[in-house]
């Protein structure tokens, strides 16, 4: 929050930060770093805070978020909401790490993710 003399402006929220970390993964550095933060944010984000933000983000960003929530963070509370939103979209295979030419280690058919880097977070 930013406090002005005449108002308080909410700059971001945990839900928006979670989505921004995936959308701007190349600017953050490593998606694995983002996954660590997403793990912590997932504990405080509620589904009703996350759902209204889905239309503001690309399908690719939501695919990556869903893969991270389900496979890396192993968060079972939020990822059904993303799945529900994405089921009406045509998904194409995308690399997990967008600016990385590594070989595909695994192909996730559910989220159409070409896993080109193994991701693990320390809890």
Q: Enumerate the β-bridge partners of residue 74.
A: none
Extract the tokens encoding 90. Answer: 């045509």
Q: What is the DSSP letter of 117?
A: S
Look up the pTM and report it.
Answer: 0.85
Alpha carbon distances (Å) from 56 to 16, 101, 120: 10, 28, 28
Residues 59-107 pLDDT 10s: 999 999 999 999 888 888 898 888 899 988 999 999 998 877 778 889 9
Q: Are 56 and 18 in contact (CB under 8 A)?
A: no
Decide if pLDDT at 51 tops 80. Answer: yes
């Amino acid at each position: 929050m930013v406090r002005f003399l005449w108002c308080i402006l909410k700059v971001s929220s945990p839900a928006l930060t979670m989505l921004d970390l995936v959308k701007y993964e190349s600017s953050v550095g490593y998606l694995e770093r983002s996954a660590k933060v997403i793990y912590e944010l997932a504990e405080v984000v509620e589904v009703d805070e996350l759902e209204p933000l889905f239309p503001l983000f690309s399908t690719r960003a939501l695919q990556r978020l869903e893969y991270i929530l389900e496979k890396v963070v192993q968060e079972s509370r939020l990822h059904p909401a993303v799945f529900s939103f994405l089921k009406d979209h045509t998904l194409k295979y995308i690399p997990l790490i967008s600016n990385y030419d590594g070989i595909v280690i695994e192909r996730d058919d559910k989220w159409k993710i070409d896993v080109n880097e193994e991701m693990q977070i320390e809890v």
